[in-house]
Structure 1
Amino acid sequence: MAPPQRSPRPAGAAGRPRHLARTAAALAAALSLLSPLGAAGIAAAAAQETPAADVEVQVNTQASLGRLTDTARGVNAAVWDSHMNDPEVAALMKAADVGAMRYPGGSYADIYHWQTHTAPGGYVAPGTGFDAFMGTVRATGAEPILIANYGSGTPQEAAGWVRYANVTKDYDAKYWEIGNEIYGNGHYGSGWEHDDHPDKSPQEYARQVRAYALAMKAVDPTIKIGAVLTAPGNWPDGVVGAGDPGDWNHTVLSQVTDVIDFVSVHWYAGGSDTTADAALTRLTRLPGELREVRNQIDRYAGADSPRIGIALTEVNTNTGGAMLTARPNGLFAADAFLTALENGVFNVDWWNTHNGADRITTVDGETDYGDMGMLSSGGCTGEVCEPAPNTPFHPYYGMKMTSELGTAGDTLVPAVSSARDVSAHAVHRRDGRLSVLLINKNPDAARTVDLAYTGFTPSAATPEASRYARGDNDVTDVTGSEASASRVTVPPYGMLAVTVTPRPGTGPEVSAAGTPGTPRLEAVTDTTGRLSWAGAPGATRYLVQERDGAHTWLVGETTGTSVTLRNLPPGSTHTVNVLASDASGRLSAPSDPLTFTTGTPSDAPCAVTYHPDTGWGNGFVATVTVRNLSDTPVTGWTMDWDWPTDGQSVSSGWNATFHQTGRHVRVTAPEGAGPLAPDGASTASFGFVGANDGPNPEPTTFRLNGAVCSGG
């Protein structure tokens, strides 16, 4: 039979696809990068008054968003893809600095048996076996991410694969996921993932993860085991199955954090609006969803949480089969890779290397083949055929543009744009250079961008620049004599990367102090947080800085390696970095970040329990119970809280009156309600139906008549 050109997709819920004061002052200079002009055009342009920039981007090298890993950029590979191991694939992926390749391909992983190279019920293309795949991985210079067969496999089969890979063949395969989208096994009503286990609950998956981890690490204790989670705000997040203690993520994490090393989540822009602008806009949800994944890991792993990484092992738009090979999906790819890496993810894998033609549309004046692959498979839809196999589509060049920013070990730093249709990302390289990628999502107008820097002083040297925009057949070097200090012009629907050198004698690379270790939260109360970190050689003191966007401010200073931050609001979230200062006052590079949330007072005059009863991805039902712990009755009460994200709201409720303004919710006691008795002798409960466009984290602080309550 003919090989399938695309992997199956599930019907059902949400159309789910199967498949992160003492600081240096801000310094700015003028930088202008213009499209190539003839001599007469350049002279005419120079004679005109320089127009004002319409976008401002602030870059702060004194705050870290984490380091690029050697597995940062990845792609998926599937055993049904006959072009998976073409020599051109390794060459193209190497050119884009791809560091990870995931195998054997999404949902196929749960029917694929590595030893026999078979997938009962599916098609396996010739030449796609494990050893052939590893040949491509090694030719690329990447690491494999392998999916152990959970659906029809066993812990013993997975352990045998580890033995073959790392003992027999010495492939040193480090990352092993247990199954693919196992939450799609029918337990919640929609089933696209194969699962032979009679018990398809999250409890059984957690039990099996422990069994797989035990068997596989008995062969090679150095491997990393990953468990599958749902993306917060995406079905079936929040859904509680019959007899389950909670939804998928909370049930699984409550049982496996001691045996796993990372979690695997998938994220597709999706949605009923299939326009390019809608898909690009949906990326604004991703940081909050990844933050909620980390919150969930924190909740169950506690102090061990930093050891557990997050991998975004599938990402794409999946906008109804449209905008998949077109230019806006290239912009999406670059933006998605870097947004995830900036928000705590160590690996991002595009779905897919090849996927096959589907719905034919026209986007930005070009044929879109409805193909979720980065490279053409050469397939056809009706009489419309893709270009030759392995021809790169726009998403490939989006990923390749991200490699212009830096390599493993370089530091992601905040870059904040004043315009919603211009994204900015920045990497401070180990050699002191600073690279900034600007993505113009406006299809009709070029955008002029002023760049400003905190903690970095640019030299007067011409910056390196590369571009991918209309008319470019590849990432194109546009370094030219027009480039000066701190202004660039980004073409419509285009990407521009600039790399600026520091002024000699400036920057952390000249400091005698090394980089401090990542801070750890030793203790937290409702108003304090005690942090500690590994010291840095050459340091005479340490500065603790809090960050909001690209802005940082000093919150602590010490000559030791710990500090207690005081006077913090209850239930507030803080992101901090530590910098070391040498004897001359020169600052090191910032540590990796720590984000923590303060608690609620233990001696509060009230206590609140917030209980999410059920959910369905973009909506939920919750019950709130309040007790008066003071020694006097409370009559005519009001309850206030703030939602952690913009997408959360109260739709309707009972046993109280609800009013929401922005993120703020005020609940008032129903008419005729009696007083709340003192000393916890009585409770008041109310419930509501809520909506969430994105993640649905629980509120952190509740106030009864203005007083902060404790939790529970």
Structure 2
Amino acid sequence: MSPSGGVCVNRKQRTLKLGTLAATIVALSAVATPAVASADTTTAIASSTVHVTVNAAAELGIVPNTALGVNTAVWDGHLLDAAIPSLLRGIGVTMLRYPGGSTSDEYNWQTNTVTGGYADPNNTFDNFMGVVQKAGAQPIITVNAGTGTPSEAAAWVQDANVTHHYGVKYWEIGNEMYGSWEAGNFANNPSGYAKEAVSFIQAMKAVDPSIKIGVDLIAPGTGEDDWNATVLSTMHSLGVLPDFAIVHWYAQNPGGETDAGLLSSTNQISTMMDTLKQQLSSYGTIPVFVTETNSVSYNPGRQSTSLVNALFLDDDMADWLESGAQNVDWWDLHNGIVTQQAGANVDPNLYGQYNYGDYGLLSNGSSDNGISEPAANTPFPTYYGYQMLAAVMVPGATMIGAGSNNDLVAVHATKLPNGAVDVMLINKDPKQAYTVDLQAEGFAAKGPAFTLFYGQGSNAVTPGKLDNLQNVTLPPYSVTDIIIPAVPGHQPQGPQFTDKTTLSTPQVKPSANETLTTTFTDTRGAVKDGTLDVEIYNPAGQLVGQQVQSGVTFTPGQSSQPITWNWTAPDSPGTYTVKAFVFSQDGTSVYAADPSAATFTVTQPDPPTISATVQLSATTVKVGTPVTITTTYTETAPTGYLNNGLLVQYAVYNNWTSSQQSNPTATLTPGQSVTETWTFTPEQAGTYTFPEGIFTSGWTQLQWINQNVTLTVTN
């Protein structure tokens, strides 16, 4: 695998076997969990101001009823607990995925058994559907493409939709079939998987042509570069295309977790999604489903059970949805305890209370090495993070433009079906509180506003009321939802202005300047004291640049003075969109809204300028024997290349990846070298390679260096 994400589900699966929003506020669950506080208690320093813009006229898309999902599994002994449906309803879950990750490719739905694994005898498909119906959700089913057959999958469709009339609409052909850890082993054989997928689709749709079927693709930049292209082109040549594309994304690999790194990793989503859309564009409109995501690819540590992971969940899932994904499924409902002895990272520098990891939204009450979780179905912080997200991402709501001038404060916003505007503000700073200067555009606020809060010391999501939108404080490490009732603004019928935006270049390199010039022309009636607004949005639909000119008066036919500004491109490649607006002076009336005034591309970074050498303490060892890896990075460019970047050493075995984030703030000047060491313990026999990844601090890949150094591991 390549950097910036993990898909080592063989390890993850081993761990697994161990174990309505009616008006303006989401219903709150009565279940509480002990407060999760940092082991290293900190005190907030003096507040500073963050400028936040929310533009209800910048519509990004409608939140689909498939948006918010959770993974479930046949091995989960608490899946059928009586409390589960209400717990799921309480956080707004609309999709439940079954039968559970890698287990799917060894699961026989007819006998409720797993080849070489475990299925709870009570977790039959029919009983799972009982949970789905009680929770008011809909299922997404992963059929067995590993040890199963097309006829077996077709029989499942027959049973679900013909015999029992469940109306199961969404189906997947296998789980992560690009991985060597999956039964059936299509790793390095994308054309083979494509042909198999076509056979499954044809058999299943012969039973029910109305169903939608997805196939496994790889999140760009996290795996084989040719998998997606080969799968899509092969299926196209056979006359069958998927109804949706499936990707999974885990932000980190175990051992290299940092809280700041996790919370900034969401910067990658815009580039991944932009690239994926380009890959799919040749084949028409194919929606994207992200059917697994979490903070770390396997062996979850204390970060997974901390508030930090709840903040990550909110930003992660919201970013995928705003960038166009139709579904995002968190991994998972219940999972199980993972202690340090089992590979969990319990580094005290990681924020959190628990010295163990667990992927679950809810505890399953398991114990290991003398450590026990809270009672089964006790929510972890991610449960409450999910609840905060669901209050914003309500099915039928319109996602709207939002952004802040501080990278540590993430903003997401929607216009709810009842007309209210809901703003989610995430403070990623562990120590600094911020005061929000909220600029509302395209709607008129009607107070008071309602609030939801979850943060340090919280036992549950707390509702509140806010009388002054200009006096919002975000405590450190917290998420705040502000539900703002809105009164209708003046909305003229038809366009009242035209606009024209010109760019200095259609392509700009990271950190380079793009010059934008926008001119507005009044086509209809006089406007006094208007506000001209030009905004830039990244591929994930986030507001990342804005230029405003206020106090402008127009007569019919009059044009504005050009608004010209130099904007410094970020380091996240992809397609950026310029949106242009004319508002009344107070921002409540929209005289013009152009959602696509212009587009331009931020290109990939310059070619490599860093070399690396790798030395191993041994070249042949047995499984379980530690090996010391010594890597020297040298800057070879005539000018400085890496400034506060990331140096990541990888160990790769047949698509299985482990990593060590060696230096999270590396800076190199021309000719300078830095040496890093890592003790790596191989857990499988085979041949390992050791490439390096060079990243910006926001986890944009700058360089990928492949080495000829190999390690042979024997049993």
- Interval of TM-score (by shorter of Structure 1 and Structure 2): 0.5 to 0.7
Contact 2:15 / 2:336 at 8 angstroms: preserved in 1? no
The offset of 1:88, in angstroms, is 1.4
Equivalent position of 1:115 in the other structure: 110
Superposed CA RMSD: 3.9
SS in 2 for 1:110: helix
Greater share of strand: 2
- Return the match for 1:192 from 163, 181, 192: 181
Contact preservation (8 Å) 1:151, 1:195: yes
Q: Distance in 2 between matches of 1:449 and 1:378?
A: 40
Looking at structure 1, the residues matched to 367 and 69 of structure 2 have their Cα atoms a distance apart, in angstroms, of 26
Q: CA deviation at 1:175?
A: 0.8
Aligned pairs for 1:186-585 (under 5 A) are 191-195=180-184, 201-234=189-222, 236-238=223-225, 247-256=226-235, 258-271=240-253, 272-298=255-281, 300-301=282-283, 304-305=284-285, 308-318=286-296, 321-322=300-301, 323-359=303-339, 361=346, 364=351, 366-459=353-446, 461-480=447-466, 483-502=467-486, 504-506=487-489, 547-548=536-537, 549-550=542-543, 573=575, 575=577
**2:165 pairs with one of 157, 170, 175:** 170
CA 1:59–1:479 in 2, change beyond 3 Å: closer, same or farther? same
1:10 maps to what in 2? 10
Q: 1:350-377 CA distances to partner (integer Å, 9 max, x unpaired)?
A: 1111110002536545114300111101
| Contact 2:64–2:396 (CA under 8 A) maintained in structure 1 | yes
Report the Cα distance in structure 2 between the residues aligned to 1:423 and 1:507, rounded to whole angstroms.
29
Task: Look up the SS of the partner of 1:183 in the other structure.
Answer: coil
1:180 aligns with 2:175: yes
Q: CA deviation at 1:213?
A: 1.3
Q: Distance in 2 between matches of 1:65 and 1:17?
A: 38
Q: Is the 8 A contact 2:71 2:98 kept in 1?
A: yes
Residue 311 of structure 1 deviates from its aligned partner by 0.8
How far residue 458 of structure 1 moved from its aligned partner, in angstroms, is 2.0
Aligned in 2, Cα 1:406/1:358: closer, same or farther, shift over 3 Å?
closer
Q: Distance in 1 between matches of 2:153 and 2:482?
A: 45
Q: 1:445, CA displacement in angstroms? A: 2.6
Deviates more, 1:486-495 or 1:364-373: 364-373
Inter-CA distance 215–463: structure 2 relative to 1 (3 Å threshold): same
Aligned equivalents of 1:16 and 1:449: distance in 2? 45
Instruction: Tell me how far apart the structure 1 counterparts of residues 264 and 121 of structure 2 sit (CA, whole Å).
Output: 40
Aligned CA distance change for structure 1 residues 217 and 422 (closer, same or farther; 3 Å): same
**Contact preservation (8 Å) 1:266, 1:315:** yes
Structure 1 CA distance for aligned equivalents of residues 574 and 374 of structure 2: 53
In structure 2, stretches of 5+ residues that fail to align are 1-6, 18-45, 341-345, 496-505, 508-523, 526-531, 549-572, 613-635, 643-691, 704-715
Conserved? CA contact 1:413–1:427, under 8 Å: yes
Deviation at 1:644, TM superposition (A): 2.0
Q: Does 1:100 align with 2:95?
A: yes
Aligned partner letter, 2:309: N
Q: CA, structure 1 residues 577+417, in 2 after alignment: closer, same or farther (shift >3 Å)?
A: closer
* Offset at residue 690 of structure 1 (A): 9.4
Q: What are the within-5 Å matches in structure 2 for residues 12-91 of structure 1?
A: 53-91=48-86
Pairwise CA distance, 1:18: 9.7
Partner SS for 1:166: helix
Q: d(CA) in 1 for partners of 2:428 and 2:596?
A: 31
Contact 2:9 2:102 in 1 (8 A): no
Q: Match for residue 123 of structure 2? A: 128
For residue 438 of structure 2, give the secondary structure of its aligned residue in structure 1.
Answer: strand
Name the structure 2 match of 1:615: none
Q: Please report how far the alpha carbon of residue 479 of structure 1 lies from its aligned counterpart in structure 2 after TM superposition.
A: 1.3
Aligned to 1:644: 603
Q: For residues 150 and 594 of structure 1, what CA distance do their matches in structure 2 show?
A: 42
Whole-Å separation in 2 of the counterparts to 1:407 and 1:428: 9
Following the alignment from structure 2 to structure 1, what is the Cα–Cα distance between the partners of residues 259 and 50? 21
Between 408-417 and 313-322, the greater mean CA deviation after superposition: 313-322
CA distance in 2, matches of 1:388, 1:264: 34
Give the distance between the partners of 2:589 and 2:278, measured in 1 at CA. Answer: 35
After TM superposition, give the deviation of residue 415 of structure 1 in Å: 1.3
CA contact (8 A) 2:108 2:148 kept: yes
TM normalised by structure 1 equals 0.66
Judging changes above 3 Å, is the alpha-carbon distance between structure 1 residues 448 and 643 closer, same or farther for their aligned structure 2 residues? closer
Deviation at 1:205, TM superposition (A): 0.7
1:407–1:211 CA distance, 2 compared to 1 (3 A) = same
SS in 1 for 2:214: strand
C-alpha distance in 2 between matches for 1:115 and 1:425: 43
CA distance in 1, matches of 2:82, 2:597: 43
**Shift in alpha-carbon separation, 1:204–1:406, aligned structure 2, 3 A:** closer
Cα distance in 1 for residues equivalent to 2:138 and 2:438: 36
Q: In the aligned structure 1, how far is the partner of 2:605 from the partner of 2:195?
A: 36
Letter in 1 for 2:461: V
Shift of 1:430: 2.8
Aligned residues: 518
**SS of equivalent residue, structure 1 residue 284:** helix
In the alignment, what sits opposite 1:137?
A: 132
- Aligned counterparts of 2:582 and 2:103: Cα–Cα separation in 1: 49
Provide structure 1 residue ranges, at least 5 long, that are not aligned to the other structure. 1-6, 20-50, 185-190, 239-246, 515-525, 528-538, 555-570, 599-641, 664-688, 699-712
User: How many angstroms apart in 1 are the aligned matches of 2:479 and 2:71?
Assistant: 24
Instruction: State the 1:71 CA deviation.
Output: 1.5
Aligned CA distance change for structure 1 residues 339 and 505 (closer, same or farther; 3 Å): closer
Instruction: Decide whether aligned partners of structure 1 residues 151 and 225 sit closer, same or farther in structure 2, where only a CA change above 3 A counts.
Output: same
* Equivalent residue number for residue 157 of structure 1: 152
Q: In 1, are the aligned partners of 2:610 and 2:637 still within 8 Å (CA)?
A: no
Distance 1:328 1:159 in 2: 42
Please report the TM-score for the alignment, with normalisation by the length of structure 2. 0.65
2:623 corresponds to:
none
Equivalent AA in structure 2 for residue 495 of structure 1: V
Rounded to whole Å, the distance in 2 between the matches of 1:573 and 1:278 is 24
Letter of the 1:409 partner, please give it. G
The one-letter amino acid of 2:411's match is: A
Structure 2 match to 1:42: none
Distance 1:446 1:576, change over 3 A: closer
Which letter maps to 1:249?
A: N
Distance in 2, matches of 1:281 and 1:266, equals 18
SS at match of 1:125: coil
Task: Name the CA distance, whole Å, in 1 between partners of 2:14 and 2:114.
Answer: 22
Is the Cα–Cα contact under 8 Å of residues 365 and 374 in structure 2 kept in the other structure?
yes
Contact in 2 for aligned 1:263/1:311 (Cα 8 Å): yes
Q: Deviations over 1:179-215 (max 9, x none)?
A: 101111xxxxxx2111167x96100111111111111
